[in-house]
Amino acid sequence: MNKPAASGTPVITSTAEPAQRLRQLLAKMPTRVIACSGGIDSMLLATLAGRLEQGQTLVVHALSPAVPAEATARLRHWAAREGWRLRTLESGEFDSEDYLSNPVNRCYYCKHNLYDSLTRVARAADTGASVCSGANTDDLGEYRPGLQAAELFHVRHPYIEAGVDKATIRALARELALPFAEIPASPCLASRLYTGTRVTAERLRAVEAAEALIRSTAGIEVVRCRVREQAMIVEVSACDRDKITVDVLDALQQLMRRNNFPLLTVELDAEPYRPGRAFVGAA
């Protein structure tokens, strides 16, 4: 399916076969409940499911301080355009001390709450309904405690079942000319908090505001504003580090003060951006 390019980046020669496998998998489900975060993976899955003639599709989006407002807006817009049956819910992870204390497996408690809620929705819709996530084969090689929670609730992962990776997802989204095909990956805002730093709505709002400021003023697409207790640490790729000037850091500090976010320091990380750096102790 994929051939390695000289640079090491996969080149997708054809999306026809994986697309067919995905559609066949989804078509066999009498009712599909798609967990959709507003990112490219789940948005594409919901689009494929929603465009099938067979079966029924219900798209469910969890509202939470950890979900970027931009992702929710993107999802609502596309759902209206595609005519999806869309339901929003609050999955309740902010009622869980196990989640709020931010252990290294915080994602497990978040997904446990989410999939518990989705399973209830699925049962109400159809006793034979399948809850589906947007996890792909690349996720199998990473620390993903949320997959353990998915297993408890028998959540299905169509991309994994069809052997589809992230590169193929993007290639298929481009082939379908979907407007979100090029959006950068952006995990939930809670992933910006270092393990052990308590999850609070205030900290998540600070992260969201800080990243939005950097994208707009420095023109950087991929940025992570990590928080370790009272310090905000900005991560960007090596090629973008010179764009994080003293003026940008000062603007971040001023933004925090204007919004009463209790941060003592704002600094550029000593190393370039690396996914998952905030998960201290992850295997």
Task: Kindly tell me if the per-residue pLDDT of 248 is higher than 60.
Answer: yes
- Among 30, 73, 71, CA closest to 54: 30
- Among 138, 215, 145, 141, CA closest to 183: 215
Is position 188 annotated as part of the catalytic site? yes
Helix residue ranges, H only, 28-105: 40-50, 69-82, 97-100
**Which of the following is catalytic: 107, 110, 132, 188?**
188
Residue 105 lies inside a defined structural domain of this protein: yes
Task: Write out the residue range of the structural domain in which residue 35 sits.
Answer: 2-175
pLDDT category of residue 153 using cuts at 50, 70 and 90: very high
Percent of the chain clearing pLDDT 90 (strictly above): 82
pLDDT category of residue 260 using cuts at 50, 70 and 90: confident
Residue 280 lies inside a defined structural domain of this protein: no
- The mean pLDDT value of the chain amounts to 91
Residues 101 and 235 occupy one common structural domain: no
Provide the pLDDT for residue 264.
78
Task: Kindly tell me if the per-residue pLDDT of 8 is higher than 90.
Answer: no
With 0-12 CB in 10 A as exposed, 13-18 as middle and 19+ as buried, what is 20?
A: exposed
Task: Kindly tell me if the per-residue pLDDT of 282 is higher than 80.
Answer: no
Residues 56 and 146 occupy one common structural domain: yes
Q: Which of 175, 207, 235 delimits the end of a domain?
A: 175
Q: Write the DSSP symbol of residue 240.
A: G
Predicted confidence (pLDDT) per residue in 87-145, tens digit: 999 988 999 999 999 999 999 999 999 999 999 999 998 878 999 999 999 999 888 89
Residues 145 and 34 occupy one common structural domain: yes
pTM (two decimals): 0.90
Residues 30 and 161 occupy one common structural domain: yes
Residue 180 lies inside a defined structural domain of this protein: no
Task: Kindly tell me if the per-residue pLDDT of 12 is higher than 70.
Answer: no
Element holding 27 (H helix, E strand): helix 16-27
Percent of the chain clearing pLDDT 70 (strictly above): 93
Q: What is the CATH number of the domain that holds 136?
A: 3.40.50.620
Q: Which of 142, 175, 208 delimits the end of a domain?
A: 175
Residues 134 and 196 occupy one common structural domain: no
In the chain, the number of structural domains is: 2
Q: What is the CATH number of the domain that holds 208?
A: 3.30.300
Residues 169 and 236 occupy one common structural domain: no
Residues 159 and 79 occupy one common structural domain: yes
* Residue 199 neighbours by CB distance under 10 Å: 21
Q: Are 35 and 9 in contact (CB under 8 A)?
A: no
Exposure string over 154-175, b if 16+ CB within 10 A, otherwise e: ebbbbbbebebbbbbbbbbbee
The set of residues, in sequence order, having a beta carbon less than 8 Å from that of 221 and lying 6+ positions away, is 184, 215
Predicted confidence (pLDDT) per residue in 158-189, tens digit: 999 999 999 999 999 999 999 999 999 888 99
Residues 16 and 118 occupy one common structural domain: yes
Residues 155 and 201 occupy one common structural domain: no
Residues 160 and 203 occupy one common structural domain: no
Provide the pLDDT for residue 252.
95
The set of residues, in sequence order, having a beta carbon less than 8 Å from that of 106 and lying 6+ positions away, is 99, 145, 190, 195, 199
Residue 183 lies inside a defined structural domain of this protein: no
Q: Are 189 and 275 in contact (CB under 8 A)?
A: no
Residue 278 lies inside a defined structural domain of this protein: no
Residue 283 lies inside a defined structural domain of this protein: no
Provide the pLDDT for residue 280.
81
* Residue 103 neighbours by CB distance under 10 Å: 14
Q: How far apart are CA 232 and CA 207, in angstroms?
A: 8
Strands 56-62 and 85-89: parallel
Residue 276 lies inside a defined structural domain of this protein: no
Residues 27 and 160 occupy one common structural domain: yes
Q: How far apart are CA 166 and CA 56, in angstroms?
A: 26
pLDDT category of residue 53 using cuts at 50, 70 and 90: low
Q: Which of 175, 204, 235 delimits the end of a domain?
A: 175
Residue with the bigger pLDDT between 143 and 282: it is 143
Dihedral angle computed from the Cα positions of residues 190, 223, 45 and 80, in that order, rounded to the nearest 10 degrees: 90
Residues 121 and 213 occupy one common structural domain: no
Residue 13 lies inside a defined structural domain of this protein: yes
Task: Kindly tell me if the per-residue pLDDT of 7 is higher than 70.
Answer: no
Q: Write the DSSP symbol of residue 34.
A: E
Predicted confidence (pLDDT) per residue in 206-243, tens digit: 999 999 999 999 999 999 999 999 999 999 999 999 99
